[in-house]
Structure 1
Amino acid sequence: MDADSAPLTRAQRLALTTASFLLLAVATMALGPLLSGSGWWWLCAFIAAGTLFSGFGLRAVRTPPSLVPVLELGVLLLLLTLLFGGGTSIALIIPTQGTFETFGELFVGAQRTIEQQSVPALTVPPLSFALALGIGLLAVVTDILVQTVRMPALAAAPALVPILIPGFIIEAGAELPTLVLTAAAYLLLLRVDVRVRRRARLTAGEDPAGQSTGQAATVIAPKRVPIVSTLGASLGLAAVGLLAASVLAASTPSISTSLLLGSPSQGTLFARGVSPFIDLGRDLRRPEARAAFHYLARDGDRPYFTLLTLDRFEGEVWSATERAVDGDNTVDAMPRPDGLSRRVAASEHPIDVVIDDVSTTWLPVPYPTAAIEGLDGSWFWDDGSLTVRSVDSNTDGQRYRVTRLEVEPTPAQLRAADSVPAQLAPFLELPDDLPQLIADTAASVTSGAASQYDAAVAIQAYLRGPDFDYSTEAPVEEGYDGGGFDVIARFLETKAGYCVHFASTMAVLARQIGIPARISIGYTQGSPTEERVDGVQRVEVDSHDLHSWPELYFEGVGWVPFEPTPGRGLVPDYSRPNAGEEQGPNIPNAATSTPGASGRPDLDPDRGLAGPGGGPLGAAGDLWLRVGALLLVALVLLVTPAAFRASQRLSRMGRIRRGERPADAAWDELVATARDLGTGLGDVETARAFASRMAERPAFAEDAVTRGALLRLRDGVERERYGPVGRTAAPGIAEDIVTARTALLADATAGERARAVFAPRSLFERARRMLGDRLAPGA
């Protein structure tokens, strides 16, 4: 684009910079529904201000315009180093190789947190880094459009980026007040640009249209800029822009209704073979176990390790209630579990855990846990379940110490807990169409139980009894694998299955008789080895130790694990029949043998997953979907001006064919083409002056055919504009405009032609005149 003939003063540059900063700062507020707190906005405002106002300072010291964007990127790098470089930088702002390695780690962490967090997301350091980098790049692009190429109308493109993002994530899209404020900030930028241009031209001795006052005798406007000269057009543009932004934000299809650019199931809940229910069974059927982690328990503890707790039963699947991560729930100090009275014995025991070969965003920890130390990344505990998950990392290579809270309730304490708090009503919910077999089994098994606790012990004893077999193959062969109520009914008939069937059956039977229940998925206690570290025995846990078990709630004790699966894990002492009495048989801890695994069935890897959202979505495919959607938006923004310009040209050619002032239409198209190619102010010249100037260009001066077409177009428009009304234009005008346009395009460079297509100056000049950049009145 041609630079303005009138240079801008520092004050005028500062006005444009301030308006640009305000536009970006307000547009960034659209991300508010996706992010928790307000610190992220102040970070973005700081980065945008530092980048934009550094550009103002560089121009103030007369830095070559082509170098300003490059130096702004340098300033952005210095700011990122200051905020995120840590000890890897020199003098806090000079990056080193270690700084760029840190940036790489933060970028990878940002990708993870985008996939793993629900909204509103915590702005952990990796996500803050991504926000700072993104807003900094948008600031540089905005500055180029507003200050370098002097086309502030295009600043809507970078401002639309944060406006559109919510529409891809949540159904509501950007909030209406933010759209209103962004439209107002955009309108302010355009008005500031109009006034700055006029003031610059008036100061340089030109009329408001850019013509030197010495070129012709004209009457010019006073040397002031009218404030309300085109208020109606400005407000109209603002209203149209606001309406378009609202429709666009509301109609953009969301990728997910609950997660920050992630899948409906918290990304991949468990990688490397760890998934709920169906995939858990596949891992149990592996011919060879895969190492998961090992631990050292100085007090000889052998706890279960929980990954995920499922508390919603909707008939077909068990799933976890979606909860946004609470930034205050850091794992260095965790609360006492819900419902646990101080009267119940509890002691703390440290356990050192080393992850070997399992990758998941959920951390294996005993329930309940009092504290965790030594983790890399940002990890938080969930309310109620006390499960631990990360928003920017995973378990790969983690080494940490977990302080286990060992709870030792007595049967008397459990027997005394018969009330159910109102807030636990969701843990009693069952589908309306529950098979009658389930209700009948619950009633028959628990008949005669003196308390809820006795009923729970009876259900566990029933499932561990001789009538039931542990089998990883029978559910697959019989076609009832999973945890839905139909599967439970079939399991009660066939009486063969593995841990997911026993756990889900006990949880449903417990809910049926009024005991709150949920299911934990994780690992059993593992297998001790001969190796000792500092005198402490090392315990190995592998994929064959994957397990699920029910937890039932008893007021005063809290969530209590049971073990209904025969041949697996350990039966807690408090859950054995006649526990607490002087005599009475213990429930056997052995059961029928598990059939030897002969291989892993070739099953659909997505079948039956029960993640928090109730359905799977491949992480790789989801990423391509997001990238493709953003690229589509960018492409639409890029080709919109070209589409408008092409539509305008087709309309003029249609007028020529229909004979509706054809010479005038052809001349307007010729002048617009010249403006698009940056050949000067043809739209404010007379037809004869413009044709005289064009005729000096090589494309016309050296070719009689093209020169003749140009002159015939000139004569035609003069006759049509100034001749008798109804005068018919000369024939062949359609061929002449094609010839003249072709010559103009051939005379331009490839860059000028590309710029004419994607950033047509004639179109933007027309919009600018609508905002008030009109010719001053004159004689």
Structure 2
Amino acid sequence: MRGRLALTTASFVLMVVATMSLGPLIADGGWWWLCAFVSAGVFFGGAGLRALRVPSALVPVLEGVVLLLLLTLLFGGSTSIAFIVPTPDTFAAFGELFTGSQRTIAQQTVPAVAVPALTFALALGVGLLSILLDVLVQIARVPALAAIPAFVPVVIPGFLVEAGADIPVLVATAAAYLLLLRVDVRVLRRARIDRGDDEDVATVSAPKRVPVASTLGASLGVAATGLVVASLLTASTPSISTSLLLGNGSQGALFARGVSPFLDLGRDLRRPEARPAFRYLAQDGDRPYFTLLTLDSFEGDVWSVTETPVDGDNTVDAMGAPEGLGAEVATSEHPIDVLVNEVRTTWLPVPYPSTRIEGLSGSWYWDDGPLTVRSVDTNTAGQRYEVTRLEVEPTVEQLRDAGGPRSVDPRFLELPDAVPPIISDTAVRLAGSAATPYDAAVAIQAYLRSPEFEYSTEAPVADGYDGGGFEVIAAFLEAKSGYCVHFASTMAVLAREAGIPSRISVGYTSGTPTPERVDGVQRVEVDSHDLHAWPELYFEGVGWIPFEPTPGRGSVPEYSRPGAGQAQTSVLPAAPSTTAPSTGRPELDPDRGLAGGATDPLQSQAPLRAGMLLVAVLALLLMPAGLRVLQRAMRRRRIRQRRGAANAAWDELRAQAADLGVGGADATPRAFAAYLASRPAFHDAEVLAALLRLRDAVERARYGPGVEATGDRGDQSAAAPAGGVPRADPALLDLDVALRALIRDASARDRLIAALLPKSLADRVRRASGVRTADGA
């Protein structure tokens, strides 16, 4: 029993050390302690079951029960009985956590925040790997194959981060693996000594010099197994590091990573049918814009979001202060109740700036700077929440007195080289004579809203200048026809050219009031007509404020109108525009976009992912069997080609015996043949004669002088007789007779284990690693 406990401890150490390899992917370290707790429960629960003499075949099943109880204790909460006994509601909660884990994997960047859904997936995965590792070590008695489950967490970081797993963790995992092999050798040797049969069987030590081919083959086999498993898992699971904007880039999301959001927004604006997005109640009559995401990086061809990992400390119950807002600027807070209809996105529609959000389900975090809000494990569908909007009310005087951009990040002023002349000329013409940056911004907005420009969703496509890059802006300034993305990107670029920091917000305008009232508060409907993009400009001491350069869309802030007075006005639009033409309220395709259909892309792909995971598990389980089939085929080929035929035949006989659990396979050929001859299946004269011919052939090959004998019988050979039909090689015939006898002598259970978990492969890996073993070790 002490030996079993030592193996359990070594297995546990290997599993938890290997799990540390996931450290570069997940923030903080609490998740590792939770996984270690679950792994300890599985391993030592199994040890306790074996101490109670539970049949070996039932131990893995009961370990699964232990894993279920631990998951219920950690994640079941009030749905369980006495915090440990699961109920149907517990399994429903597990299903939600599992779905949430798929979302958080798809939506987070690395290092990911360890939200409950992600820690549940980690605990479940480590628990299942622990059960598999325990089966390989304790039941199948092939500890060398423990590298398969242990290497799964080790190789995953290499597919998600450039540096892969940390080198110290890799070294520690290798040391834990060698420790497990060493403990297994000592346990088996001690077991033989306790039985008193250590002197009865010859001990064979590994040769001083391990053949290079043997070592290389074993190493490549283990490495290939790890890589194949990792590849299958990576293919069946969304990559953590490939999602940035809205969701995972499928057709259910508006903006795909690597593609300009403007192009997708433009496609959506040209869809024929409008769909409801969300509704809200603003007690103070507020009509703000709702921001989804903010684009701050301009590379000449595309505007994009600066990629940053989610900060787990930025919970929405208390959001950060607006960037650059001075204490002398008047502010006030206003609550807004929001109910999302059909919008499915990982970015939450919130006014900028907001101070806190309550009532959300799932894990939501705000980003530093833009104060945009995104989820790592859910989406906006069906969300109901109260957002507290901070209304910022600077005066025109404060805007004119704003100094240069001293505290803002320089990236908000960056423009690529080779600015088209029409852009730089327009910026000089509009802003060159402006007294202050604020006056320059007002002049740019007034120019774009002048009668020279018209709103059109079709003209940019027809004339081939759709998007938001330099060339598109230049063509837009020539054609003077486009929609919100062209006006917003043009003003943002002109502002940067004039020395004013700028960025672009994408979201919704303030919507349309309805006759319905709730508790005396008028309800406002926001639908796909209101999808919009607008620029925000930075003024020192005031911060980021929106402008509205698109004619016929939304409403123009009072402070941005030409000739605005000195009175305090709200930074955010106060009321929806009543002059918007029909073309200014485009519609979305119900099958695509932010107001698209209700099908969750992750749910629609769930059967495919489940199938791929099933394939991965089957490949993992069948990998040893496949390697054994390949090894058997190579040996038979050697026999047919008469290249070391006697040794190849004897090695295959020994390997089959080891797979079936027949002892003595590591003894000398004569001792092993004598042991087999005593078994019932070899009492048949023909079978015994075949065994003895194999034995004599290998002894002549190994110990006799001259050319190796191959076990030929008289004048029989593999050459073609007079009739021209080649005969089977005599060594193959004898080998097949002996193998059939071994299989007849084994139980059905031993045959199944031999097929799925061939012990001879583990022995070969152990010998290749240089570990000296006694018979049966």
Give the TM-score, by structure 2 length: 0.85
SS of the equivalent of 1:45 reads helix
Determine if contact 2:277/2:340 at 8 Å carries over to the other structure.
yes
Task: Specify whether residues 691 and 189 from structure 1 end up closer, same or farther in structure 2 by C-alpha distance, changes over 3 A only.
Answer: closer
Give the alignment of 1:356-755 within 5 angstroms.
356-421=341-406, 423-580=408-565, 593-595=581-583, 638=621, 641-642=624-625, 644-646=627-629, 648-650=631-633, 652-653=635-636, 655-657=638-640, 659=642, 662-684=645-667, 686=671, 688-690=673-675, 692-693=677-678, 696-697=680-681, 701=684, 708-717=689-698, 720=701, 726=707, 728=709, 729-730=711-712, 731-732=716-717, 733-740=730-737, 743-744=740-741, 747=744, 755=753
Determine if contact 1:303/1:524 at 8 Å carries over to the other structure.
yes
Q: Distance in 1 between matches of 2:589 and 2:122?
A: 44
Amino acid at match of 1:282: R
Indicate the residue corresponding to 1:774 in structure 2: 774
Q: How far off its partner does 1:568 sit?
A: 0.7
Q: How far off its partner does 1:500 sit?
A: 0.6
Indicate the residue corresponding to 1:176 in structure 2: 167
SS of the equivalent of 1:295 reads strand
Indicate the residue corresponding to 2:240 in structure 1: 260
For 1:476-534, what per-residue CA distance to the aligned partner results, in whole angstroms no more than 9, with x for missing partners? 22221111111111110110111111000000000111111000001101000100000
Residue 93 (structure 1) aligned to one of 84, 95, 112: 84
Indicate the residue corresponding to 1:764 in structure 2: 762
Determine if contact 1:520/1:550 at 8 Å carries over to the other structure.
yes
Q: How far off its partner does 1:188 sit?
A: 0.5
SS of the equivalent of 1:150 reads coil
Determine if contact 1:466/1:591 at 8 Å carries over to the other structure.
no
Q: How far off its partner does 1:677 sit?
A: 3.2
Higher mean C-alpha deviation, range 144-153 or range 532-541: 144-153
Q: Distance in 1 between matches of 2:388 and 2:141?
A: 62
For 1:646-692, what per-residue CA distance to the aligned partner results, in whole angstroms no more than 9, with x for missing partners? 55445544554565554343233223223323344344262541452
Q: Are 2:105 and 1:78 equivalent residues in the alignment? A: no
Determine if contact 1:271/1:359 at 8 Å carries over to the other structure.
no
Task: Specify whether residues 242 and 192 from structure 1 end up closer, same or farther in structure 2 by C-alpha distance, changes over 3 A only.
Answer: farther
Q: Are 2:145 and 1:148 equivalent residues in the alignment? A: no
Give the alignment of 1:99-118 within 5 angstroms.
99-118=90-109
Q: Distance in 2 between matches of 1:666 and 1:243?
A: 22
Q: Distance in 2 between matches of 1:598 and 1:116?
A: 29
For 1:730-751, what per-residue CA distance to the aligned partner results, in whole angstroms no more than 9, with x for missing partners? 2443342453256347636776
SS of the equivalent of 2:328 reads coil
Q: Distance in 1 between matches of 2:376 and 2:187?
A: 46
Residue 28 (structure 1) aligned to one of 16, 19, 37: 19
Task: Specify whether residues 690 and 719 from structure 1 end up closer, same or farther in structure 2 by C-alpha distance, changes over 3 A only.
Answer: farther
Task: Specify whether residues 519 and 596 from structure 1 end up closer, same or farther in structure 2 by C-alpha distance, changes over 3 A only.
Answer: closer
Indicate the residue corresponding to 1:6 in structure 2: none
Aligned identity (percent) is: 59
Q: Distance in 2 between matches of 1:554 and 1:642?
A: 68
Amino acid at match of 1:674: A
Amino acid at match of 1:26: V
SS of the equivalent of 2:500 reads coil
Task: Specify whether residues 255 and 133 from structure 1 end up closer, same or farther in structure 2 by C-alpha distance, changes over 3 A only.
Answer: closer
Determine if contact 1:173/1:250 at 8 Å carries over to the other structure.
no
Higher mean C-alpha deviation, range 654-663 or range 369-378: 654-663
Q: Distance in 2 between matches of 1:250 and 1:57?
A: 34
Task: Specify whether residues 672 and 271 from structure 1 end up closer, same or farther in structure 2 by C-alpha distance, changes over 3 A only.
Answer: closer
Q: Distance in 2 between matches of 1:270 and 1:294?
A: 26
Task: Specify whether residues 659 and 447 from structure 1 end up closer, same or farther in structure 2 by C-alpha distance, changes over 3 A only.
Answer: closer
For 1:102-155, what per-residue CA distance to the aligned partner results, in whole angstroms no more than 9, with x for missing partners? 111111111111111111000111111111111111111111111112211111
Amino acid at match of 1:393: T
Q: Are 2:292 and 1:301 equivalent residues in the alignment? A: no
Give the alignment of 1:301-320 within 5 angstroms.
301-320=286-305
Q: Distance in 2 between matches of 1:264 and 1:622?
A: 19
Task: Specify whether residues 506 and 690 from structure 1 end up closer, same or farther in structure 2 by C-alpha distance, changes over 3 A only.
Answer: same
Q: How far off its partner does 1:639 sit?
A: 5.6
Determine if contact 2:690/2:735 at 8 Å carries over to the other structure.
no
SS of the equivalent of 1:195 reads helix
For 1:419-445, what per-residue CA distance to the aligned partner results, in whole angstroms no more than 9, with x for missing partners? 112652101111113211111111111
Amino acid at match of 1:712: R
Determine if contact 1:255/1:261 at 8 Å carries over to the other structure.
no
Indicate the residue corresponding to 1:192 in structure 2: 183
Q: How far off its partner does 1:197 sit?
A: 0.9
Q: Are 2:40 and 1:46 equivalent residues in the alignment? A: no
For 1:229-275, what per-residue CA distance to the aligned partner results, in whole angstroms no more than 9, with x for missing partners? 99998xx989996998699789988889x961644545346976744
Q: Distance in 1 between matches of 2:95 and 2:539?
A: 48
Task: Specify whether residues 29 and 562 from structure 1 end up closer, same or farther in structure 2 by C-alpha distance, changes over 3 A only.
Answer: same
Task: Specify whether residues 425 and 59 from structure 1 end up closer, same or farther in structure 2 by C-alpha distance, changes over 3 A only.
Answer: same
Task: Specify whether residues 267 and 377 from structure 1 end up closer, same or farther in structure 2 by C-alpha distance, changes over 3 A only.
Answer: same
Q: Provide the aligned length of Structure 1 versus Structure 2.
A: 732
Indicate the residue corresponding to 1:13 in structure 2: 4
Q: Distance in 2 between matches of 1:169 and 1:330?
A: 26
CA RMSD of aligned residues (A): 3.8
Q: How far off its partner does 1:70 sit?
A: 1.2
Q: Distance in 1 between matches of 2:650 and 2:220?
A: 34
Q: Distance in 2 between matches of 1:72 and 1:20?
A: 15
Show structure 1 runs of 5+ residues with no match: 1-8, 208-212, 610-617
Q: Distance in 2 between matches of 1:662 and 1:507?
A: 78
Task: Specify whether residues 720 and 426 from structure 1 end up closer, same or farther in structure 2 by C-alpha distance, changes over 3 A only.
Answer: closer
Determine if contact 2:465/2:475 at 8 Å carries over to the other structure.
yes
Q: Distance in 2 between matches of 1:742 and 1:14?
A: 36
Determine if contact 1:687/1:718 at 8 Å carries over to the other structure.
no
Task: Specify whether residues 278 and 707 from structure 1 end up closer, same or farther in structure 2 by C-alpha distance, changes over 3 A only.
Answer: same
SS of the equivalent of 1:92 reads coil
Task: Specify whether residues 266 and 143 from structure 1 end up closer, same or farther in structure 2 by C-alpha distance, changes over 3 A only.
Answer: farther
Q: Distance in 1 between matches of 2:274 and 2:630?
A: 65
Give the TM-score, by structure 1 length: 0.85
Q: Distance in 1 between matches of 2:6 and 2:240?
A: 36
SS of the equivalent of 1:552 reads strand
Q: Distance in 1 between matches of 2:217 and 2:322?
A: 54
Higher mean C-alpha deviation, range 332-341 or range 758-767: 758-767
Indicate the residue corresponding to 1:3 in structure 2: none
SS of the equivalent of 2:240 reads coil
Show structure 2 runs of 5+ residues with no match: 256-260, 568-572, 595-600, 718-729
Q: Distance in 1 between matches of 2:480 and 2:148?
A: 63
Give the alignment of 1:234-313 within 5 angstroms.
260=240, 262-263=242-243, 265=245, 267-268=247-248, 274-275=254-255, 276-313=261-298
SS of the equivalent of 1:52 reads helix
Task: Specify whether residues 660 and 490 from structure 1 end up closer, same or farther in structure 2 by C-alpha distance, changes over 3 A only.
Answer: closer
SS of the equivalent of 1:94 reads coil
For 1:340-371, what per-residue CA distance to the aligned partner results, in whole angstroms no more than 9, with x for missing partners? 00100110001111111111111110000011
